[in-house]
Amino acid sequence: MRLFEAIIEANHQAAAGDANAGLRPAEFTDALPVAALTCFDARLNPLLPEVLGLPEEWFIWLRNAGNVVTHSTSSTVRSLALACAVKGAREICVIGHTDCQICRTSTMQLLERLKSLGVQRQLLPDNVNEFFNVFSSERQNVIKACEVVRSSQLISPQIPVHGLLLDTSTGRLEWLVNGYQNWAAPGAPGSGMLRSAGETVDKLKSLAEFQFGEMKFPETKIGEFVTPAGDWLSDKIEARPTPMEAAQPTTPVAAAAGKLVAAAKVVLAQPPQPPAQAGPKPIPLPPRIPPRIQPSKPKFFRLK
C-alpha cells in the first residue's frame, strides 16, 4: 500500500467513527515529505495536516486564494518545484475544500467589495474572472490545478501529483486525482517498460538465431575482377556448418544474445510481488476539532 492509499483508507475509517484508525508515517518515509497546496481559508488551520495523519515536519504547506494554479510556470508551480528540489518533497497534493468562499463569490460581488476598499473598476483588467481565477466548482478547480502541475516541465515526472477535496464539516477526504495512476499512465516514466522489454526480447531472439558463420563474402581488391558468382556460391556451400555446429552459437555475439534472451524471459515470467502486509495497530487520527470556545475572563484575588 502506498502513502496516499493508506491516508485515504485511514481518513475514511476515522470519519466513519473508528477510533483506532490512523496512519503510521514511519512506514512511508520513502514517500515523505509531502508538498501540499491548499486555500488560505483559516478554517483549514486546525484541520491540516491532522486529517492526513501526517506530522508537521513531513508536511510542506503552500497556500494561496482558492488553491489555484494558473499556468505551468506560475509562482505556485515554482514553489512546488523548489519544495521538491530543496526541501525534498516526494509527492505533491492539491487540497481543495468545501464551502470555499472564493468559489461562492460572484464577479459582481467581488467588484463591489473591491470598490468598498477603494479599488476602482477602471484600475482592474478587463477580464476580472481570468485575472482573479474565479471558479465555480471546487472539484473542477482541484482537477485543473493537478493537470497544470503535472504538465509543468518544472515538476519531475517521478513526483506523483494528487488531488483531494476536504469536507470542512466532517474532515473526510475525497480522492479526486490519483497521482499514482497518472504516474503510470501512457507516456509517463516506466509506462512503456514492459512493451520495450518484449520488443527487446524479440530482437535479441532474432539476433541469436542468426548464424554469422553462414555468411561468407568474397575477398576482392580494387582493380581486380569480382570472383565469379558460381565459385563464390560453391565456397559458401562448402563453408556451411554441420547441423550439430548450427545448433550452437558460432560467435560470441550470438552466444551473448542467447543468454540475454533467456534472462529477459525469466524476468518477464516472474509474477508481480504482492503488497506489503499491514503492520501493527497504527496510531489514531486526531478527532474532529470542536468549535473554539471563548475563554472565560480570569479571576483576580486581592491579597489580605
165 compared with 297, residue with greater pLDDT: 165
Domain total in the chain: 2
Same domain membership, residue 130 and residue 42: yes
Q: Is residue 303 part of a domain?
A: no
CATH of the domain at 38: 3.40.1050.10
pLDDT at 262: 72
pLDDT at 84 over 50: yes
Same domain membership, residue 211 and residue 124: no
Same domain membership, residue 249 and residue 198: yes
pLDDT at 267: 53
Q: What is the pLDDT of residues 158-183, one digit of tens each?
A: 999 999 999 999 999 999 999 999 66
Same domain membership, residue 30 and residue 139: yes
Same domain membership, residue 95 and residue 207: no
pLDDT at 57: 96
Same domain membership, residue 25 and residue 115: yes
Q: Is residue 280 part of a domain?
A: no
% of residues, the chain, pLDDT over 90: 58
Same domain membership, residue 232 and residue 123: no
Instruction: Please compute, for residue 189, the number of CA atoms within 13 A of its CA located in the half-sphere on the CB side.
Output: 7
269 compared with 155, residue with greater pLDDT: 155
Q: How far is residue 265's CA from residue 178's CA, in Å, rounded to a whole number?
A: 32
Same domain membership, residue 202 and residue 149: no
Same domain membership, residue 123 and residue 75: yes
Tell me which of 159, 183, 207 is where a domain ends. 183
Q: What is the pLDDT of residues 32-59, one digit of tens each?
A: 999 999 999 999 999 999 999 999 999 9
* Domain enclosing residue 199, as ranges: 193-269
Q: Is residue 256 part of a domain?
A: yes
Q: What is the pLDDT of residues 68-83, one digit of tens each?
A: 999 999 999 999 999 9
Q: Which residues contact 21 (CB under 8 A, 6 or more apart)?
A: 10, 11, 13, 14, 282, 284, 285
Same domain membership, residue 62 and residue 144: yes
Residue pair 153/81 in contact by the 8 Å Cβ criterion:
no
pTM for the model stands at: 0.63
C-alpha cell, 10: 485511514
Q: Is residue 208 part of a domain?
A: yes
